Amino acid sequence: MDYFVYILQSAKDGSFYIGYSENPSSRLEKHNRPHSGYTGRKQPWKIVYTEQFDSKAEAQKREQYIKKMKSKDFILKLINGSSAG
Give how far Cα 3 sits from Cα of 22, 23, 48, Å: 4, 7, 16
Average of pLDDT values for 33-50?
96
Average pLDDT rounded to a whole number, residues 41-61: 97
CATH assignment of 3-79, among 2.40.37.10, 3.50.50.60, 3.40.1440.10, 2.60.40.10: 3.40.1440.10
Is pLDDT at 84 greater than 80 in this prediction? no
- Helices then strands, each counted (H, E), the chain: 4, 3
Break the chain into its structural domains and give their ranges. 3-79
